[in-house]
C-alpha cells in the first residue's frame, strides 16, 4: 500500500474515507462508528477537533466521581477519568474507610521544576566555569521579556547551574535550571526560557575573550524541560490507632495492620511486586490528572523515575506501626497546573476543577496524591484479606455481560446470581448460556 502525501490537508470527511477504505474490512460500518462518536454540539466538536492534528472522532472514557474524601478536614468528591473496572469503587471505599478515622492529611514539600540546556564543549572546563560566572547575569537579563509576568506573580527562574557531565559523556555539559511556575504546569514557559538561554549562551561564547578555536563554538544539542521533578514533591498520609482498624471477625486490627505493613515492605524490596503495586497507585493518580486536563504521561514518567531514585525500583507508599498507631503514606513528585492548557479549554476539565473547588496547583497536587494513596490502600487491603479478584471481578461483571450482548433482563438476573457466586469469564458464559437455553 502506497504512503499518502498531504494527509493533514484533507478535509475531515476525506480523512475518514481514506482510513476506512484502506485499513478496515467494513468501510461503511467504520464510518458509521466514527461519526457515532461525534458530538452533536458542532461548536464543542470543533473545539475537540482542534486539540490535536488529523482528528477523525472522539475517544470517550468514563468520568466517575469518588465521594467522601476528607482531606485536611475538608470534604471532597474527586472526579476520575478511567476505563478500568473497580478503580472508582475502590477509591470510594478507601475514602469511606478513612472518613471517620481522621481522614487524609497532606503537605506540599516543594514546587521546584527543572529544565536543561544540553551542550557540547571542547576545551578547558575551568575556562567554561569562568565564562558561566561572567555570562550568568546576561542569561537572566535576556529572558526577562519571557519571565516578567511570571515574576509579577512570584514565579520565574530560581537558579541556573553549570554542570560538568563530561565523565559520563565526552565533552557533555549542561545548564541546569530550576523554575517556579505557580498554578501553571509551565512546560511552554520553561521551554521558551531554555531556548532563549541557549541562544544567549552560544552568542556570548563567540565573543568571550578567554575562548579560542573550538572553545568559542559551543554546540547546543537541545533545550528542554525535564519531567523528572524530585523537588516538586507532595506527601499524603492516613493514620489511626490500631484498634480502629477492625476489619471483621476473621482478622484482628493488629493482624490487619501487620499484614498491611508486610505487604508494603515486600513491594519495597521486590521490583516485580513494586511495579504492580505502583501501577495501582497510578490508577488513582492518572484518573484525576486526566480528569483535570493535565499531562498524565509526564506525571507517570516522573513518578516512576522517582520510584527508582535510589538505584532500585521500589514502592511509592510506606506503612508503619508505631506506639499503637498504624500509618500509611506516600511521597510523590507531581508537576501539575490549574491554569493554561486543557485545564481552561476542555469543558469537562474545567468542570472537574469546579467540583474540586477551583484548587491551586499546590492544592491539586495534594488531591491527586490522596487519590493515589487511597487506591493503593484499597488494593493492598483487598490483597491481604479477601484477595484482589473478589471485588475486581464483581465490578468487571458488567463488562463481560456487555461483551456477551446480554439483555437488560439477563443482566439483572446474572448480577443477582453473582452476588453469591465467584465471577469468572467462563462462569458468566456458562450462566448466560443456561438462561438462553431456558
Q: Among all residues, which ones are annotated catalytic?
A: 84, 279, 295, 392
C-beta of residue 215 within 8 angstroms of C-beta of residue 129: no
DSSP 51: T
**C-alpha distance from residue 116 to each of 96, 330, 404 (Å):** 43, 28, 52
Of 118, 197, 101, whose CA–CA distance to 156 is shortest? 197
Q: What's the N-to-C CA distance of the chain in angstroms?
A: 50
Choose among 303, 279, 289, 300: nearest CA to 356.
289
User: Which value, in Å, is the radius of gyration of the alpha carbons in the chain?
Assistant: 27
The DSSP string of 52-115 is: SSS--S-----EEEEEEEEETTEEEEEEEE--STTHHHHHHHHHHHHHTTT-BEEEE----EEE
Q: Which of 371, 395, 392 is nearest to 383 (CA)?
A: 392
DSSP string, 282-293: HHHHHHHHHHTT
Q: Are 431 and 417 in contact (CB under 8 A)?
A: yes
Amino acid at each position: 500500500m502506497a504512503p499518502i502525501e498531504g494527509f493533514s490537508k484533507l478535509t475531515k470527511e476525506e480523512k475518514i474515507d481514506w482510513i476506512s477504505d484502506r485499513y478496515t474490512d467494513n468501510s461503511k460500518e467504520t464510518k458509521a462508528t466514527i461519526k457515532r462518536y461525534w458530538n452533536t454540539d458542532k461548536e464543542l466538536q470543533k473545539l475537540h477537533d482542534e486539540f490535536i492534528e488529523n482528528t477523525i472522532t472522539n475517544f470517550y472514557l468514563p468520568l466517575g466521581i469518588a465521594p467522601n474524601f476528607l482531606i485536611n478536614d475538608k470534604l471532597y468528591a474527586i472526579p476520575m477519568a478511567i476505563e478500568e473496572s473497580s478503580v472508582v469503587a475502590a477509591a470510594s471505599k478507601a475514602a469511606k474507610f478513612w472518613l471517620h478515622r481522621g481522614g487524609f492529611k497532606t503537605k506540599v514539600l516543594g514546587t521546584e521544576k527543572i529544565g536543561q540546556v544540553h551542550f557540547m564543549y571542547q576545551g578547558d572546563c575551568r575556562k567554561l566555569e569562568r565564562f558561566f560566572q561572567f555570562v550568568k547575569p546576561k542569561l537572566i537579563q535576556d529572558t526577562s521579556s519571557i519571565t516578567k509576568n511570571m515574576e509579577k506573580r512570584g514565579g520565574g527562574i530560581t537558579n541556573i547551574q553549570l554542570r560538568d557531565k563530561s565523565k559520563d559523556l565526552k565533552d557533555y555539559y549542561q545548564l541546569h535550571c530550576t523554575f517556579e511556575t505557580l498554578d501553571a504546569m509551565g512546560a511552554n514557559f520553561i521551554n521558551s526560557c531554555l531556548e532563549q538561554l541557549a541562544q544567549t549562551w552560544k552568542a556570548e561564547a563567540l565573543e568571550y575573550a578567554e575562548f579560542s578555536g573550538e572553545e568559542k563554538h559551543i554546540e547546543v544539542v537541545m533545550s528542554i524541560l525535564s519531567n523528572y521533578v524530585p523537588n516538586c514533591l507532595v506527601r499524603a498520609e492516613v493514620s489511626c490507632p490500631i484498634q480502629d482498624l477492625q476489619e471483621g471477625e476473621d482478622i484482628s486490627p493488629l493482624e490487619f495492620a501487620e499484614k498491611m505493613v508486610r505487604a508494603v515492605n515486600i513491594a519495597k524490596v521486590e521490583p516485580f511486586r513494586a511495579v504492580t503495586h505502583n501501577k495501582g497507585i497510578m490508577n488513582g493518580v492518572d484518573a484525576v490528572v486526566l480528569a483535570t486536563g493535565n499531562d498524565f504521561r509526564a506525571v507517570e514518567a516522573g513518578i516512576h523515575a522517582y520510584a527508582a531514585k535510589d538505584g532500585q525500583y521500589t514502592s511509592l507508599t510506606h506503612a508503619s506501626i508505631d506506639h499503637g498507631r498504624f500509618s500509611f503514606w506516600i511521597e510523590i513528585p507531581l508537576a501539575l497546573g490549574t491554569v493554561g492548557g486543557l485545564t481552561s479549554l476542555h469543558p469537562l476539565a474545567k468542570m472537574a476543577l469546579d467540583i474540586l473547588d477551583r484548587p491551586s496547583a499546590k492544592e491539586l497536587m495534594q488531591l491527586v496524591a490522596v487519590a493515589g494513596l487511597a487506591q493503593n490502600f484499597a488494593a493492598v487491603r483487598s490483597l491481604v484479606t479477601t484477595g484482589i479478584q473478589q471485588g475486581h471481578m464483581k465490578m468487571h461483571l458488567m463488562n463481560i455481560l456487555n461483551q456477551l450482548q446480554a439483555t437488560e433482563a439477563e443482566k439483572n438476573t446474572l448480577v443477582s446470581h453473582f452476588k453469591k457466586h465467584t465471577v469468572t469469564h467462563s462462569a458468566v458464559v456458562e450462566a448466560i448460556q443456561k438462561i438462553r437455553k431456558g
